Homo-oligomer: A and B are copies of this chain.
Amino acid sequence: AFGLVDIDAEGQRFVSRIVGHPLLGPIKLAGDPMKLEDVRLLSPILPSKVVCIGKNYADHVAEMKDITGESTEEPVVFLKPSTAVTGPGDPVFHPAISERVDYEGELAIVIGRLCREVPPERAKDVIFGYTCANDVTARDLQKKDKQWTRGKGFDSFCPLGPWIETGLSLEEAADLRVTTTVDGEVRQDGRTSDFIHGIPELISYVSSFMTLVPGDVILTGTPAGVGPVQVGQQMTVSIERIGELTNRVVTRD
């Protein structure tokens, strides 16, 4: 079920159940609100498409040059399969076949309307909200395969959450701190104001060649500082004014 996460007068987060699908009509709540800590959050959306942007922070382009080449005029776009999506607190499975699995903390845009060929100035009209994403990547397979589908497509390689923040303006979303920690140690620390291609341009570019449907997610690229995680370690993507997305790396069995 879907739920609405809000903050009460004492500053405590609570969850109210949403009747039906929040993207398919006005939101109607049902039942008594529950304390957030009594609820297990799943991925806030099961997207039809997970569209990802590569090379959207100059400092990350520089650190990745030997794997992904020079920066390009247009955004690099790739897809993760919907089966890669997982929720906050869920395990990320380290494939036995990979010798290097990396975190990549990113701001994710959740699309709210069916749209195609969106001009940048209309982009704000098609955004439902924002969440945190971790574009988990088997770096060795990404490099070996050339096409990034396998390296970035394993089950559980796309944690999303903890919820969708619907209260941010485009201007606010364009200047948020994005950090990733591993076992509490800061590894990535960027700002969305450092994007090479801003949110309106990304939506315009992606929708210039594929129709977007409600619930589709666009991952906006990762800042510098990507690196490996080991089995047992905990990754946390934190985005200012949105929340924290934490997942532990485990073996499949």
Contacts and interface: CB of A to CB of B under 8 A. Distances in A.
A18 interface: no
Question: Per DSSP, are chain A's interface residues mostly helix, strand or loop, or mixed?
Answer: loop
A135 B72 CA distance: 26
Interface stretch (A81-89, A176-184, A186-194, A233-241): A81-89
Interface in A110-156: 116, 145-150, 153-155
How many copies the complex holds: the figure is: 2
A240 B172 CA distance: 57
Given A79-B79, A211-B155, A147 B116 contact: no
A95 interface: yes
Contacts of A209: 95, 97, 150, 153-155
Interface string A209-245: 1111100000000000000000000000000000000
Contacts of A84: 210
A80 to B, nearest CB: 8
Nearest to A68: B146
Q: Max chain B CB contacts within 10 Å: which of A48, A116, A147?
A: A147
Contacts of A148: 147
A49 interface: yes
Given A83-B212, A116-B155, A147-B148, 13 more contacts: A48-B48, A48-B83, A49-B83, A76-B146, A77-B145, A77-B150, A78-B149, A79-B79, A81-B210, A83-B210, A83-B213, A153-B209, A155-B210
The 6 closest A-B pairs by CB, nearest first: A79-B79, A83-B211, A78-B147, A77-B149, A154-B209, A81-B210
